Amino acid sequence: MLVGAAVSGAVALVVGLAASCGPGGGEPDARPSSSAPAPVPAQTAAPVLPSGYSPTEPVLDDSFADPAAIKVGDTYFAYGTNGGDAMMPVATAPAPAGPWTRSPGDGLAALPAWAESGWTWAPEVVAPRREGDPYLLYFTARRRGADVQCIGIATAKSPAGPFLPRDGEPLICPEDLGGAIDAASFVEDDGTRFLLYKSDARATAAIYLVQLTSDGLELAAPPSRILGRGGDEPVLVEAPDLVKRGGKYVLFYSAGWYFKSNYQTRYAVASSIWGPYEKGAAPIQSTDLYGEKVEGPGSADVLSDGTRDYLLFHGITEYHGGSRVTRPMYVAPLGWDGTRPVVRGVPVRHEAEAGALNGCVSALPRPNASGGKAAGPFARGDCRVDVRVFAPVAGEYEVRVQYANRSGADSDLQLTVNGTAGATVKLGATEGADWTSVTAKVRLGGGWNTLGLGRLAGAGRPAGKGQIDYIEVR
């Protein structure tokens, strides 16, 4: 234990210096993880991303599961589930998307007497709201002599640690519900503190909310169950994270087993922090949504840089048998369509027949189309469809146009973005009942955009026709 504290102290010194040496110096700017960024209007500049960054590639190659992060000064600190030789690995970066560097040593110096080593999960660090207050760490650990996990507290003077656990009993340990895991902090604008967590027994797994004392160290009231598993969700719900956007409370959570590919991220919205929470119609992250580029995405945490939001989460890169998997950390820019979260890197499909059709183009019943209909045919030069699409942040996107063209000749369409010509899309001739696709790259503004597809006709242009099933933005 003393060795661990010494190593963590060295980490704290090195990283603490990095945090304090940014422009301006002085007291670090510590912000609660639930604080909202300034509103970002549509068509704003794209976020600055490091070279080689991709929202579907890990920002840390090694396992860094259940990530959560805070900003202190000009440095971002991320914390993960135990792995390797660290009960709580720590990583730092100059920006949310990285580059991230894993710190040496262990951010958690020791475990309390009630906890068994090797089972330290899902850390949540909360920055102090007042000068002189400590950084708070809520962590999950297995209780000695009992097959349950509980939530404990540790404190530190630096965001890098070493975090020292509080003596005595766990903060939360409902043994009648199989224990508790996955603590997540939320701080209201008036400073009122709350903690979310998951009850751990599979049969009764649910998300709970409890108010804390002003120092965040004790429960101030009995907990309340605010969200349970729905019939369309796999196995159980867990890993809550709560933010306030658009005047509403938006609760992110995971569904399924973390070690299986159907693990996914979902969300629910409420007008009151206590609910009732209305769930979104579908996952916002899943293996299928990513086209298997990210497997089992979940345990999401919202991080703000003061201007826009990012989503930290883990995905599965290796299976080692049973529940043993490698889960590195990913980061993706996060946009908001009102209270609906939209994650960069997750393709979003828009049915063409739901767009604005100019009369020359109409909605055609097509049983083998994704929505049962398609838009077409593009038979003349005045044929056009306009489809509104949402981009979480400004940047370059790939537009995939699903189409069929059984006219026997190619057809050229002009793709426009917000009224400006973007690219020419060729609908090659197709046969039979199958649909195919063509892609183009365009720049979209953050927020709502209008993609137009219009027939290019005239001398030298191919005379074919075509039908559009959907447009997918990725």
C-alpha 264/C-alpha 228 separation (Å) is: 15
| Cβ contact 108:87 at 8 Å | yes
C-alpha 107/C-alpha 8 separation (Å) is: 6
Say how many residues make up the chain.
474
Exposure string of 48-75, with b = 16+ CB inside 10 Å and e = fewer, is ebeeebebbebbbebbbbbbbbbbbbbb
pLDDT in tens, the chain (474 residues): 333 333 344 444 334 433 333 333 333 334 344 444 544 444 456 788 999 999 999 999 889 999 999 999 999 999 999 987 899 999 999 999 999 999 999 999 999 999 998 889 999 999 998 889 999 999 999 999 888 999 999 999 999 999 999 989 999 999 999 999 999 999 999 999 999 999 999 888 999 999 999 999 999 999 999 999 999 999 999 999 999 998 999 999 999 999 999 999 999 999 999 999 999 999 999 999 999 999 999 999 999 998 999 999 999 999 999 999 999 999 999 999 999 999 999 999 999 999 999 989 999 999 889 989 999 999 988 899 999 999 999 999 999 999 999 999 999 999 999 999 889 999 999 988 789 999 999 999 999 999 999 999 877 788 889 999 999 999
Torsion of CA 339, 50, 416, 371, to 10 degrees: -50
Number of C-beta neighbours around residue 291 at 10 A? 11
Domains contained in the chain, CATH given: 8-39+55-344 (2.115.10.20), 349-473 (2.60.120.260)
| Cβ contact 297:87 at 8 Å | no
- Count helices and strands in the chain by DSSP H and E runs: 1, 33
- Position 45 scores a pLDDT of 67
Tokens of 366: 């097509």
DSSP 14: H
| Cβ contact 138:120 at 8 Å | no
CA torsion sign for 455, 456, 459, 464 is: negative
Q: What is the residue whose two structure tokens read 């860094």?
A: 64
CA angle 249, 250, 253 (to 5 degrees): 135
- Position 96 scores a pLDDT of 96
Which candidate, 108, 188, 122, places its Cα nearest to that of 151?
A: 122
Tokens of 472: 């997918």
Which candidate, 242, 230, 171, 170, places its Cα nearest to that of 206?
A: 230
DSSP string, 379-444: -STT-EEEEEEEESSSEEEEEEEEEE--SSS-EEEEEEETTEEEEEEEE----TT--EEEEEEEEE
Number of C-beta neighbours around residue 324 at 10 A? 9
C-alpha 254/C-alpha 239 separation (Å) is: 6
DSSP 134: P
| Cβ contact 322:358 at 8 Å | no
- Position 44 scores a pLDDT of 55
